[in-house]
Structure 1
Amino acid sequence: MKVVIAGGTGFIGKALSRLLVDSGYQVISLTRSTRPSDIPGVKNAVWDAENLSGWGDHVNGAKAVVNLAGDNIASGRWNEDKKKSILESRVKSGKALEHAVIKASHRPEVFIQGSAVGFYGLQGPEPVNESSSPGGNFLAGVTVKWEKSSEKVEDYGVRRAIVRTGMVLGKGGALAKMLPAFRMGLGGPLGHGHQGVSWIHLDDEIGAIKFLIENEQCKGVYNLTAPAPVTFNKFSKALGSVLGRPAVMRVPAFVLKMLMGQMAQEVLLGGQFALPERLLSAEYHFEHVDIEAALRDVVTS
């Protein structure tokens, strides 16, 4: 069985590729690089998300297509060019994959569409679930368009699941950027620290995607977040405890806004308490539900 992954060379994509290969799947990773994959059982195919040349045929006969492609939202200050790249990299990849699926003579059984809990905007203390409305900020608007980018595959009988992912805890991603400061005892909450952190361990992120691929009744929106979101204050305290370091060096909001502008407001100082209600209803069993235990597993493994 074949799975095609756009974004397969990223933090989540690589881990998902390994899991799928270990489970007996053949994985095609769509990438802009011409280098072969360093993961046994994974074949890289060059794509540009502009046309189907060189990669479109791989979609034919695949069990699943997984779209995780998109520019890193946290890599520096947002200017108009960066914001355009954040949006277009997601929408173009979705439309290209949608086109490949529609053209295929043997269409995939399922299309997994990436998204993020940023869909819900900058929320207060009240939890949100998959039926909650989108926010009105930039990232919420991006996720709405990202999710819509591949929606036409449903008109051709392809089951589609949208995965709204939170902060993924693993050896990479956001946590890797935080660890140096926390290890030196210089870590701590950002701003007031009451913003929600909807987190998920990498094991559960990729486990849930595999679960959605393999369970034919699963379609629609799923929050890929652990059942117990926390405040940034609690997250910082847990990470400090795991590392045996103080975590009291609070970074004032005005400093972050001055250095990073809108990105700081939406990514670092904003947050959500997103609950995975539909994933739980589908009887996915989380491996990691406690924030300190999850952090300890990542940091010490």
Structure 2
Amino acid sequence: MRVLIAGASGLIGTPLVTALREAGHNVRRLVRREARAAGEYSWDPPAGRIDEHALDGVDTVINLCGYPVGMRWSAARKQMISDSRVEPTEVLAEAVAERGVPSLINASGINFYGDTGETVVDESCPRGQGFLAGLCENWEGATATASRAGARVVLLRTGIVLGPGGLLKPLKPLFRIGLGGRLGGGKQYMPWISLRDEVAAILFLVEHETLSGPVNLCVPDPVTNAEFTRTLARALHRPAPWWVPADALRIVLGEAADELALVSIRAVPQVLEKAGFAFADTDIDRALTAAL
């Protein structure tokens, strides 16, 4: 199968390229510079431009583009976060529609559901409240052109990915020097997935062509922030005695605190489980130890 990937050099894209090639697929990469290597094709999403040969014979397009959200949000930052997701998706969806590509697998986020508290949510549940929930709705909506043209569209509602980068990158040095601690009440659920399961799930979705629509990429049993904090401290052989009050987080992160650090999303991967996908990492202890 010929697969074209946008965002191939990121935390998820890099190992995904390797996994696809090891599975026997032909992988092409979209790059935002002049193409310099075999299998590279240049594109410019803000200009709506993509190499005319990039989609020749392609069976599946995978879009993983998106600027990081883990920071204090200003109006300009929000716009940048949104543009980095919606614009590339619109360009790729139009290209998929025009060229008759059978499948588009597009990134999205588990924050689609907003704060769910103790309530379990699956792919059938509606959009929640907040900036990130609205962003995910717009992000997913940008694939509509491809859907109307008859392409199979898969929406990857990804949780917290535990790998060598991502969330663990800023947390690890803090925990190593004994500054780790639970956030707010610590009862908020954190939908997580290991990097290898994230990659394996996307490969599974590439190859299972009957699956479409939203897919939650997270383990079946999410942990609370308090559980996550204790486990990370244990994996790093450090205490985590501290507690960061919600108000302090709001001072540092502004409105992002409620949607990133204090939000509770008790999501489950109903679509993947029903389709027979087998998670390799469901134990938070082992997953964190491997990620570190």
TM range (shorter): over 0.9
Q: Map 1:231-250 to 2 at 5 A.
A: 231-250=224-243
Question: Is 1:141 aligned to 2:134, yes or no?
Answer: yes
1:115 partner SS? strand
**Identity, % of aligned pairs?**
38
- Structure 2 CA distance for aligned equivalents of residues 56 and 183 of structure 1: 49
The unaligned stretches of length 5 or more in structure 1 are none
Runs of 5+ in structure 2 lacking a partner? none
**Structure 2 counterpart of 1:62:** 58
* Distance in 2, Cα, partners of 1:228 & 1:188: 22
1:71 and 2:64 correspond: no
Alpha-carbon distance in 2 for matches of 1:44, 1:25: 15
Q: CA deviation at 1:57?
A: 2.4
Which residue of 77, 80, 104 corresponds with 1:85?
80
How many angstroms apart in 2 are the aligned matches of 1:262 and 1:292? 31
Q: Is the 8 A contact 2:189 2:266 kept in 1?
A: yes
2:91 — aligned with what? 96
SS in 2 for 1:163: strand
Pairwise mapping of residues 143-182 of structure 1 onto structure 2 (< 5 A)? 143-182=136-175
* Aligned residue among 260, 264, 269 for 1:276: 269
Contact between 2:183 and 2:261, CA under 8 Å: does it hold in 1? yes
CA contact (8 A) 1:60 1:108 kept: no
Name the counterpart of 2:42: 46
- Structure 1 residues 54, 125: closer, same or farther in 2, change over 3 A? closer
- 1 or 2, which has the higher strand percentage? 2
Give the counterpart letter for 1:147 in structure 2. Answer: E
Superposition map of 1:82-231 within 5 A = 82-104=77-99, 107-231=100-224
Opposite residue 27 of structure 1, the aligned amino acid is V
- Match of 2:183, SS? coil
**1:267 paired residue number:** 260
Partner AA of 2:231 in structure 1: A
Distance 2:34 2:229 in 1: 40
User: Hey, what's the Cα distance between the residues in 1 that align with 2:94 and 2:103?
Assistant: 14
Tell me the CA shift for residue 52 of structure 1: 5.4
Cα-to-partner distance string for 1:109-158 (whole Å, 9 max, x where unaligned): 21101111100012211111111111121100000010010122122221
In 1, the alpha carbon distance for the partners of 2:12 and 2:34 equals 20
Q: Is the 8 A contact 1:51 1:96 kept in 2?
A: no
Find the partner of 2:289 among 290, 293, 296.
Answer: 296
The answer on whether the counterparts of 2:35 and 2:41 sit within 8 Å (CA) in structure 1 is no
How many residues align? The count is 292
- What is the SS of the residue equivalent to 2:83? helix
Aligned Cα RMSD in Å? 1.6
**Following TM superposition, by how much is the alpha carbon of 1:100 offset from its aligned partner in structure 2, in angstroms?**
0.8
Q: 3-state DSSP class of the match of 1:292? A: helix
Aligned AA for 2:20?
Answer: L
Kept after mapping to 2: 8 A contact 1:72/1:86: yes
In the alignment, residue 78 of structure 2 is paired with which amino acid? Answer: K
Structure 2 match to 1:6: 6
Distance of aligned partners of 1:242 and 1:53 in 2 relative to their CA distance in 1, 3 Å threshold = same
The amino acid of 2:241's aligned partner reads V
CA separation in 2, counterparts of 1:72 and 1:229? 22
In 2, the alpha carbon distance for the partners of 1:119 and 1:70 equals 15
Taking structure 2 as the reference length, the TM-score comes to: 0.95
Q: Structure 1 counterpart of 2:62, which letter?
A: V
Contact 2:113 2:127 in 1 (8 A): yes
Counterpart CA distance in 2 for 1:54 and 1:66 is 15
> Which is further off, 49-58 or 64-73?
49-58
Deviation at 1:25, TM superposition (A): 2.0
AA of the residue aligned to 1:19: A
Post-superposition Cα deviations, 1:203-226, rounded to whole Å, max 9, x if no partner, equal 110100110110121111110001
Distance 1:56 1:98, change over 3 A: farther
